[in-house]
Amino acid sequence: MKATLPTSFDRFLFHKGRLFQSYHTFGAHICVENELSGVRFTLWAPHARQVSVIGDFNDWNSSGFELKKMNEEGIWTNFFPELAELDCYKYEILTSNGSILHKSDPYAFYSEIRPNTASIIYDLKGYDWKDNHWLAKRQFNKKKQKPMFIYEVHLGTWKKKPDGSFYTYKELADELVNYVKEHGFTHIELLPIYEHPFDRSWGYQGTGYYSVTSRYGTPHDFMAFVDKCHQEGIGVILDWVPGHFCKDAHGLFLFDGEPLYEYENGYVRENDVWGTANFDLGKSEVQSFLISNAVFWMDYFHIDGFRVDAVANMLFWDMHGDGNIYPNEYAVEFLQNLNQTIKHFDESVLVIAEDSTDWSNVTKPINEGGLGFTHKWNMGWMNDVLEYMQKESDERDKWHHLMTFSMIYAYSEKFILPFSHDEVVHGKRSLLNKMPGSYEEKFAQLRLLLGFMTAHPGEKLLFMGSEFGQFDEWKDLDDLDWKLLNYGMHSAMHEYSKAVLELYRNEPAFWECDDIQDGFEWIEPNNAHQKILLFIRKGKVDDDSLIVICNFSSQQYDNYKIGVPIDGTYCELFSSDIDIYGGSGMRNKRYISSHSTPYHRQPYQLEICIPPYAFVVFKRIRRERHNAYAQ
């Protein structure tokens, strides 16, 4: 490609926080200038006295490889012929106090494998994408309500080779993508895959925001992974961390010897919780850097969405060092600019807030006073449900409100229901091992938990391993306990999670009206004594409506009456208690006719049996209809 000096307009937009494709201007770009092939380097380092490029091409000696300062704005640039793709490099920065720093390129497209920290010259162009059908379909469906059940994955510990080494992006394009497709998930969400120095940070403490981690291969290899996902009908969501960054010496921290990407004041700069530095979200150049980064992943890697990490940490903190928590006006402006820009480039891209606060209108449009996210994680629902499920069966009646409270606010935002990695690590135990009771009861309650999540309004997210009942909590240095699939209950749990995802995808009532109150109706929310919830999920067509029964007790109920809104014949469409899922095999008869006797404030009633710790779904059908789930 032909590269030129950064234009005055580029520089103007960058300093105004409006250069949203700044990766075309900054970084190391292979190009031809004056008929010479080489690389142009451009860097923002306003406090530096001198900037040079060092690398394996000059034996890490900066002499003769100095960048030129364009003006007092602090942008440095130069072109060096004969440098080529895959050459390693860093910036040598002479600070205002005479110190010398060796820094990785903030805009590097590729990096050395840890523990090495140099940037690598890389040409992102040239990959032959084959996902045109997916991208066109994504645009067509952007205004439509579609099923979304996300599989959250940490690539380094999902599965490892026998020698303990990582699967590559190309290998994961077969192993992981085929697994996710077979299981029925609609999206993969990846824990951060930009470059980071420490495996056990899981990517949340990054140093190379434009550099897909080299642990698993090259940028083109990651493109191949995303491409395969799209060809198989699976969306890709990235965990993305624009709030704080790693303080390792080669990274962004005190980049040119003084605070640059971080706040100047120490009490807001230092993030003591994670040992990181907070991005200065009020600095226009930092907004150009971060918002461009989201556009970059969309542009070069066809990413379908972002889960924005730690939104609560951005929105509220001690801004004045007085011990009081205040709203961060800079974060609000940044998040609105971010969401507005992503929408400008592609309205079909998801932007999901991991926000545990009560900040209102997170998913409302910006022109209505909202932050403009497409979705928000429902952390309140997750905390309430897991607190309830960890109670012994005979104690749950006192905590029944935890299972119903979410419906008071379920439509205040566009929610995703998350059972994420955060809930199965650091001594919190796996989902299976959170369940009380005997070995069999733990599995029954995990099946019930996943069923309840499936039926509750909101899109869904499940962390890897939960689908087959990982018994140990997430071991972030080892892969999942795949050997458990050789044991009957885990194998049955694996089949159950596939079946419940198939039920979710095939029944429009579970997702078609997911964001409107007309899609849900309580039949009986207050039966705390028997620990039973009864409700209706509705689609746009009456025949699609489903009757959902969740029994959170260890008791079996025979001849149990439930109210139903429509007269007719009903079948047990789904039950978590059948034997192939590890249950007792208790079933209702194939067809059950309603009685014209009002019950539960409904005009008709059914008489059914309910297994212990069971998730059961009934549907009104024509007698001749084949019941695929009841076989």
Enumerate the active-site residues.
Answer: 309, 354
Measure the CA–CA gap between 202 and 466, rounded to whole angstroms: 18
Gap between the Cα atoms of 454 and 417, Å rounded: 9
Buried b (16+ CB within 10 A) or exposed e, 229-247: bbeeebbbbbbbbbbbbbb
What 3-state DSSP class applies to 369? coil
Is residue 31 within 8 Å of residue 38, measured between CB atoms? yes
CA 614, 618, 624, 626 torsion: positive or negative?
A: negative
Q: Is the Cα torsion angle 282, 284, 286, 288 positive or negative in sign?
A: positive
Measured distance CA(575)–CA(308) in Å, rounded = 36
Q: Which residue type does 296 have? A: F
Exposure string over 159-198, b if 16+ CB within 10 A, otherwise e: bbeeeeebbbbbbbbeebbebbeebbbbbbbbbbbbbbbe
User: Closest Cα partner for 214 from 114, 107, 102, 105?
Assistant: 114
Half-sphere exposure of 607 (CA within 13 A, CB side): 5
- Dist CA 34 CA 453 (whole Å): 62
Cα separation of 93 and 601, whole Å? 74
CA angle 178, 183, 186 (to 5 degrees): 85
Asked if residues 75 and 25 have their Cβ atoms less than 8 Å apart, the reply is: no
Q: What tokens were used for 151?
A: 């599989």
User: How far is C-alpha 541 from the chain's CA centre?
Assistant: 31
Measured in Å, how far apart are the chain's first and last C-alpha atoms?
Answer: 60
